Structure formats: structure tokens, C-alpha cells
Amino acid sequence: MSQPKLRAAIYARYSSDLQRDASVEDQIRSCTEYAKAQGLEVVATYSDRAISGASLMRSGMQALLRDARSGAFDVLVSEALDRLSRNQADIAHIYQEFCFNGLPIETLSEGLISEIHIGLKGTMNALQLKDIAMKTHRGLKGRALEGKSAGGKAYGYRMKPQLTSSGEVIRGEREIQPEEADVVRRIFANYARGLSPKKIAEALNKERVPAPSGRHWGASTIHGNRQRGTGILNNELYIGRQVWNRLRYVKDPQTGKRISRLNPESEWTITEVPELRIIDPELWEAVRSRQGALKTKGTSTPVWDRRRPKTLFSGLMACGCCGGGFAKISKDSFGCSPARNKGTAVCSNKRTIKQADLEARVLDALANHLMDPDAVQVFCEEYTAERNRLKAAAAGNRKEKEQALARAKRDHQKLVDAIIAGIPADQVKDRMIELDARRQLLERELEHTPAPDTVVFHPSMAEAYRERVSRLIRTLGSAEGMEEAKEALRALVERIVLTPAPEGTGLDLTLEGDLAGLLQLAAGAEGANTKKAPDDRSEAFDISEEIVLVAGAGFEPATFRL
């Protein structure tokens, strides 16, 4: 009886520097041929196109890591280690994930990946990535010194491709785009006359003037940040002066996202390009003068760069008309930001709500409505069914691994018997080492795959939830533990949608509760910094680790209209 084939997954990626979409298909074809030659069955392919290997924030890579945890395949095949990542820390993280899940990684270039490959190749890839960045930066600086574009296209200009005598394309040349240049002059003139960025944006949106982003004008698009040189009013290219390398970008190791940092002025590259001037020096100075006058009294921070203190539900409110955010418009009121910053052409919802009214209505809903007994019963039935389905799948996966372990032991014993019978040991040595490694790997994996049990929710779940929410609300009134209570309550809210009421001048509120957060609190998992009551029954239904997984498996958030 033939043994079932190992299931293989293929990952392919090409970075933006290669600029060849067919590269992914080439990699998948080569990896497929390799898998078939190794007797593997390809069951899944993952790819990322035109994405740098310096970050793990790629849809294909994230799907690969997620499916690796669920046991969707037995081995990963890729063209080379640098296709998975060029970042040394990221490639080590990927390898650790696959080791934890008992999954080997094989590449066409390096073969079966081990710790040695991770150390040596990871270092080489990281150095190569740094070398590419240095050469790119050097090349861009050369273009900047020549007055050419060194990245990005400013509003008011368009690229002007030119050819050399040999027919090669000269890149980086720009010219003024007349229609956009007129808009830039209008913005500068209106601002110098006293109009606010918000009013200017509102007028442009009303006239359907295309914005730099292709969507709508906003006040921040116009005023930007003076120190960083962002925004229409701060772009020195409009007076014929190109400033390059004002900002540098670094990757946050926790989020994988790039953030900007201001470089010292000594590192800026400033080049005069008078042929690209759109704004007269006199108008530019008038704008700068008004910007200086609008700085906050007693501080160097402009009005638009001030940050108000965070309120209990700030960042969670959304307009029911346009989908934009609700923000503070006065000391104690919230309103739709797009309606006020971009004008009625974007949103006409000008109704407001008092902060005290909003918080009282939301807290009442959290305490008394989002986890009523009927809703809890539905949640528990759906959650229990999904959780038990996943437990059953895990049981099947464990059974397969137990069978594979038994086969590995049997095959190893057969080779031992063959040596005893007189077959030379050197003929079966490699196979014995392979089977022994397979045995150890499966045994380690089974240690981390406990036998499944059935999930049953505690019948007092709704009462426990209400008691804990009431306790958190009471904590808001005391100095000790107030911040922790705020964070715990915010974690229960997915979104608060504010829509104009059909009758009257008020707003209807639709509260969407985060199902994972609600179930965690109901199950007693309030967070590491929250003290539990002595009579807490959380041990009877301790499912905090699995809740997020199941709540994300197609469940809608709990919703209540206030």
C-alpha cells in the first residue's frame, strides 16, 4: 500500500526593483517541477507582486503564515531564501514559526533550510538590502543635484520624458502642469487674503476640482506641516527651489510600517530650479508671514498641529452619511470631520452631539443591551459550534501526525532489522538519519498539540459580563485604575456610527460591539492589568486564547441602535 504524498505549498515574490510580473509565474513553475521531482503534492500557492522583501506586511506572506498554523500543508517550497524575506529578523521569525508548526522549508537554491542557512544567508540578504539602499540613495542624490525629480510627483507638475540621441529615455525631467498650477496660485492667493485652509478646501471640493490624491481636498492637504515641508503651502518647489532628503523613512519593528523622521538641515540637498517656479517670491513671503502669525501664542506649535486630549471613545466614531470620522469641534461636542473640513460636496451631516451625552448612551448600551440573555445564547451557540469544529479539525490533524509517527518508527525498525540480517549499514544510514529526524520532529509537534476537548460556555455568562462592565464604569470615576478601565471599555467597541435622526435635530447612534472583546470580558479575560473578583468563575470557561480566532471566522459584530 502506497503512502500518501506530503502536501507542499509554494511561495513566490518579486520585488519592485525587478519590475517583471511574469517572475512570479516563473518561480511557481520552477517550484512545481521541483516538488514533483521530490514526490510532493502541491496543494497551495502564495505570492506577492511588486513588494519589497524588507517587510512581512504582505498579503501573500500573511496568508502563508496563517495557513501554516492551521496545518494546511506539510512543507514549504520557494525559489530561494530571499524570496521569503531579505530582512534578517523577519527570516528568523518565519523559520521559527515553521519550526514551531513542524514544517520544513526547502528552496531550489539552498535545499533544506537549517539554522546555518538562516544565520549566513540572512546576514548576506540583510547586507545586500543595505547595499541596494545606499546605491539607490546615492543615485537619487545625483539626480537631485541636477535639479531632476528624485522621487514622487508634486502637485502642479508632470513628468516630461526625453530621449537622448541614441534613443535612451532621460528620466526625472518635469514641467509645469498649467491647470494644476492655476489651482496652486489660487490656494496661495486665497490663503494670503485671509481664507483658512478649511474654507479653501471646501470651495475646491464644491467646484469638483481634482485633488492630489484623486479624491477630495482636505485642510491638511493645504496646510501640511511647515517644519517637514509637507502640504501645498510649504512646498518650496513652487518658488523654484528643490529640497531633497528633508525626511528619511525607517520601519517600525513592531508594526512593520514605515514612519518618517526629519533629517538635520545639513543633510538636505537644495537645488535651484527657476524653470519650475509657479509662485512669485512676494506671494510666498506673504503666506509665510501669515503662517508665523497663526502660531499658538506662547509656543512654536501651529494651530493645526495641536493635539487635543483623547476622550473615552475618540477614534471609534464614524459618520453614517459619508463614513468619515467624528472629532471634537468644540470643547464638549463632536461633529463630522469631512463635513467641516471638506465641505457639503463631501458630506452634509452638520449635526453635533455633546461628549457627555455620547458617553452616557454608549456606556448604558454596553452595560445593559449588548450582552442581554437572548444575544448571549446566540453568541454561545455560534461560538461553540465553530470552536468545536476547529477542535475536530485539530483532532484530525493530530491523528494524521500520530499515524505518520507510527510509520516513521516502523520504517526505522525495518532498517534496523535489515542491518541485523546482514545488509551493510552504510547503505541505509542516510535513510535512518532522515527517519529519526522525522520522528523527533513529529514527537515535538505532538507535544504542542494537546488532545481536543469540547467547548461549553458557562450559563452565567451574561450576568458575569454585566457585573464586570458595571465595575469598569464605576472605576472611571476614581483616579486609581481609571486609564486601565478606559482601555478595557474601548476594547469592547468596534465602531459607533452617528446618523442624523429622521425627525428632529439629533443623531441616532448605532453601537457595534467587538465580539471578541465582549466574549473575552464575559469569560473573565479582562486583561493582565485588571484585578479579578474573588468569586470570579473564569476557570469554568477559560477560552480567552481562542476567542479572537473564532470571532474572526465570519461572525458579525454585536450591534445595538441607541
* pLDDT at residue 73, rounded to an integer: 93
The edge-to-edge listing of strands for the beta sheet with 326-328 is: 326-328, 333-336, 352-354
Instruction: Looking at the structure, give the CATH architecture of the domain made up of residues 7-130.
Output: 3-Layer(aba) Sandwich (3.40)
Rounded CA separation 204/343 (Å): 9
* pLDDT at residue 308, rounded to an integer: 45
Coil, strand or helix: which one is 124? helix
For residue 539, pLDDT over 50 is answered with no
Give start-end residues of each CATH 3.40.50.1390 domain in the chain.
Answer: 7-130
State how far Cα 196 lies from the chain centre. Answer: 34
For residue 8, pLDDT over 80 is answered with yes
For residue 362, pLDDT over 80 is answered with yes
Q: How confident is the model at residue 3 (pLDDT cuts 50, 70, 90)?
A: low
* pLDDT at residue 387, rounded to an integer: 67
* pLDDT at residue 532, rounded to an integer: 39
Coil, strand or helix: which one is 399? helix
Closest CA to 311 of 365, 364, 370, 357: 357
Mean pLDDT throughout 486-515? Answer: 83
Which one-letter amino acid corresponds to residue 190? Answer: N
Query: For 94-103, 156-165, 405-414, which range has the lowest pLDDT when averaged over its residues?
Result: 156-165
Q: How confident is the model at residue 517 (pLDDT cuts 50, 70, 90)?
A: low
Write the pLDDT tens digit of every residue in 123-160: 776 677 677 778 777 777 777 777 777 777 889 998 88
Q: Render the burial of 282-300: b for 16+ CB within 10 Å, e for the rest.
A: ebbebbeeebeeeeeeeee
* pLDDT at residue 535, rounded to an integer: 42
* pLDDT at residue 462, rounded to an integer: 67
Q: How confident is the model at residue 538 (pLDDT cuts 50, 70, 90)?
A: very low
Q: Where are the beta strands (DSSP E) in 438-548?
A: 493-500, 507-513
Residue with cell 457585573: 467
Write the pLDDT tens digit of every residue in 30-78: 999 999 999 999 999 999 886 665 667 788 888 999 999 888 999 999 9
Secondary structure of 271-333 as H, E, C letters: EECHHHCCCCHHHHHHHHHHHHHCECCCCCCEHHHCCCCCCCCCCCEEECCCCCEEEECCCCE
Query: For 180-189, 195-204, 243-252, which range has the lowest pLDDT when averaged over its residues?
Result: 243-252
Task: Quote the DSSP letter at residue 193.
Answer: T
* pLDDT at residue 87, rounded to an integer: 77
